[in-house]
A and B are shown apart, each in its own frame.
Chain A
């Protein structure tokens, strides 16, 4: 594909209207021509410049004052013992609507266990957990079925949350599109790549629009673009007043989160 074609395709993928994408692509070629150069020489790789341009054009809106909402998750003095071994003890964390918390720490320090405790799937040995009623959990190895399609998953999980079938399917498609994924009707989950399966997990976790989202390293297998889409999505949830808890081992993720809980300390 030519530079303008790649550029335009990436703009579309990032959610620009087709007309606007075409216009920007035409203009960018003309701008390069002003310098008597090829677009690649002035702007670098097409897909990277497309992302740069979109982020430059979207930061202009004044940042709204962020206000935090009610407490949606509160851990007080939570501990877990497993076979007489302390996995962790005396963990406290309060997350309000409009906040993002990150759980970090070395492998085996109990990050996933703590997330399951947050979700109410595992009982802590000590301490108390208070949480809102509507919770979405995205586990690391999601409870998906390889022989079903994405749409069948949307309906199945939607039914469990009391959603009507068509609504579950269209909501699923819509949420998938935000992660730059268009599920195919004839494709079973076992045929999806690891990264796409992770996107399915994310969509399923959000399908019933929970107030509290618990995510366990939900970007394994994502490429760089999908990874950025994922964090944009997290901040969109946050700005919509939800509370998000993310288990992560990537330290550069932590710049924009509100709370960091280090389990290894």
Chain B
């Protein structure tokens, strides 16, 4: 299989590492070669973070580059826009409709761009979800990232049952049911 390129972008602390690990576990279970590239350290402290996941028959480079991503999973609107040019022409963006102001915006040194999603829709296939709202309905806003992942799952080559199995193996035992529910909500929201 030709290498598939997935990017998970967001703001440090939003749980990009957890979602990439679920995805990584899945690709191995399916027997692919896989490489994942993560961000640790200072950049994780509320900064813009990006995780690359590449899987296929043989993966060399651990990073995804401009114009190569099949799916861009964005946990925040501005971050979706920041990395949109990494997508292939027919690539899909799954975006959590959340705004987190970066410090230059908070202190008034820059403006948060308007109509990000509407503008992205002009040139990309965009799938939007207010995952925090959906997660709150589940009683825990922190699982919003797994809802977004559930939506993105529709653009990848794995069966729903396999996703659920890997989630079971990856998340802490106490939160298995919650995370599985979150995944299913995202998966079913997609249309």
Q: Do A and B come from one complex?
A: no
Q: Which residues of A contact B (CB under 8 A)?
A: none
Q: Which residues of B contact A (CB under 8 A)?
A: none
